[in-house]
Amino acid sequence: MSDRNAQAFWITAPGTGEHRSEPIGEPGRDELLVRTLYTGISRGTESLVWHGQVPASEAQRMRAPFQAGDFPAPVKYGYVNVGLVEEGPPGWQGTRVFCLYPHQTRYTVPVDAVEPLPADLPAGRAVLAANAETALNACWDAMPRAGERISVIGAGVVGTLTAALCAAIPGTEVELVDINPTRRETAERLGIDFAHPDAARTANDRIIHASASEDGLQLALEVAANEATIIELSWFGDRAISLPLGEAFHSRRLTLRSSQVGRIPPLMHPRWDHRRRLRKALQLLAAHPEWAVLIDGETPFEQLPQAMGAIMNGAGLCHRIRYKE
């Protein structure tokens, strides 16, 4: 390739971004040169990065695998990249891959940093891979059981995918709860019951909270049955929240536990690693074409600096960035 430069999106200050030209190294013997087809925006985490809300105490743990720069800015951040291998060891050229790489037109990475897409998974749908992996990990943490009544609060991408996985377990009664009435149509298209918080079902055996709001987490306590487990999927960044852990929290013996995709749950860890989990997430995406309904916006990469603010402040689900052929 004659042009060894790439264009990358950088956050230059909270709420401001630009494209920067970056040199691409020649791929070594065990490296790949990848041309990006699509990237996805992880609204929860990337919104906190965009607004400069990453706590200093979490700056190192929050670093993406191929991040450049430091929080709050300037920083090149992102971890949802679907691309096509242009150069590499024999057998790799032309392979479609997923990589935890930021928004950039081309890049060089080690072979073991990518995961090939299943043959039946369209590249455009694969931008849901990181969210599907988080939802899978959430189910491992929550341990839903056949026949249980399960409430998932927060119908964003991760919450909806988690609800879909729980609903596939025989006999479960899954309800997806959100303040946004437009999420009802999405839930119904995926065969999941939906409710506004005012009408949310009570006495649930298991609750998974993914709304990233104080009100949502308080609702999780309210709709839990005695001895129920509440799994917290949201990350609040540097925001402090208030919870009514007096009242009936102790007498009802509720359990509140966090779930974080950076760690494989202890019961799975002896047999699963991050690569096996990502491979399973990609297989699930291939098997569920209906999940593509969660991709509800798309922007050309060239327009990303001007569009990022509206994307981050919008109420959409998964926003996909499209790159030139």
Residue 306's CATH number: 3.90.180.10
Regarding whether 48 and 156 lie in a shared domain, the answer is no
Give the pLDDT of residue 314.
Answer: 87
Give the pLDDT of residue 262.
Answer: 85
The 10s digit of each residue's pLDDT in 242-271 is 887 877 788 899 999 999 888 899 999 999
Contact call for residues 87 and 78 (beta carbons, < 8 A) = no
Rounded mean pLDDT of 196-208?
98
Give the pLDDT of residue 239.
Answer: 77
Which of 258, 275, 302 finishes a domain? Answer: 258
Q: State how far the Cα of 193 lies from the Cα of 187, in Å rounded to an integer.
A: 7
Least confident of 43-52, 84-93, 208-217: 43-52
**What DSSP state is assigned to residue 253?**
T
Edge-to-edge strand order for the sheet containing 149-153?
193-195, 173-177, 149-153, 204-209, 224-232, 255-258
Rounded mean pLDDT of 12-36?
96
Domain annotation covers residue 279:
no
The 10s digit of each residue's pLDDT in 117-152 is 999 999 999 999 999 999 999 999 999 999 999 999
Give the pLDDT of residue 246.
Answer: 77
Percent of the chain, pLDDT > 70? Answer: 99
Query: Is residue 43 within a helix (H) or strand (E), and if so which, with residue range?
Result: helix 43-50
Give the Cβ contact number of residue 283 at 10 Å. Answer: 14
Domain annotation covers residue 23:
yes
> Has residue 2 got a pLDDT over 60?
no
Give the pLDDT of residue 4.
Answer: 85
> Has residue 1 got a pLDDT over 70?
no
Give the pLDDT of residue 242.
Answer: 83
> Has residue 155 got a pLDDT over 90?
yes
Domain that holds residue 216: 131-258
Regarding whether 111 and 143 lie in a shared domain, the answer is no
Regarding whether 146 and 97 lie in a shared domain, the answer is no
What pTM, to 2 d.p., does this model score? 0.93
Which of 237, 258, 279 finishes a domain? Answer: 258
Average pLDDT across the chain, whole number: 94
Confidence tier at 45 by pLDDT (50, 70, 90): confident
Give the pLDDT of residue 85.
Answer: 98
> Has residue 310 got a pLDDT over 90?
yes
Domain annotation covers residue 277:
no
CATH number at residue 196: 3.40.50.720
Contact call for residues 80 and 244 (beta carbons, < 8 A) = no
Give the pLDDT of residue 241.
Answer: 81
Regarding whether 203 and 108 lie in a shared domain, the answer is no
Rounded mean pLDDT of 297-318?
95
Regarding whether 247 and 156 lie in a shared domain, the answer is yes
Regarding whether 219 and 166 lie in a shared domain, the answer is yes
Outline where DSSP puts E strands in 250-317.
Answer: 255-258, 295-300
Domain annotation covers residue 265:
no
* Number of domain units in the chain: 2
Domain annotation covers residue 281:
no
Give the pLDDT of residue 203.
Answer: 96
Regarding whether 155 and 226 lie in a shared domain, the answer is yes
Domain annotation covers residue 209:
yes
Distance of CA 158 to the CA centre of its chain: 6
Q: State how far the Cα of 300 lies from the Cα of 285, in Å rounded to an integer.
A: 23
Outline where DSSP puts E strands in 89-203.
Answer: 96-99, 106-110, 114-116, 149-153, 173-177, 193-195
> Has residue 70 got a pLDDT over 70?
yes
> Has residue 202 got a pLDDT over 60?
yes
Regarding whether 316 and 227 lie in a shared domain, the answer is no
Regarding whether 144 and 54 lie in a shared domain, the answer is no
Give the pLDDT of residue 119.
Answer: 98
Which of 258, 274, 301 finishes a domain? Answer: 258
Regarding whether 185 and 78 lie in a shared domain, the answer is no
Regarding whether 251 and 139 lie in a shared domain, the answer is yes
CB within 8 A of 235, min separation 6: which ones? Answer: 44, 45, 48, 212, 260
Domain annotation covers residue 123:
no
Regarding whether 76 and 147 lie in a shared domain, the answer is no
Domain annotation covers residue 252:
yes
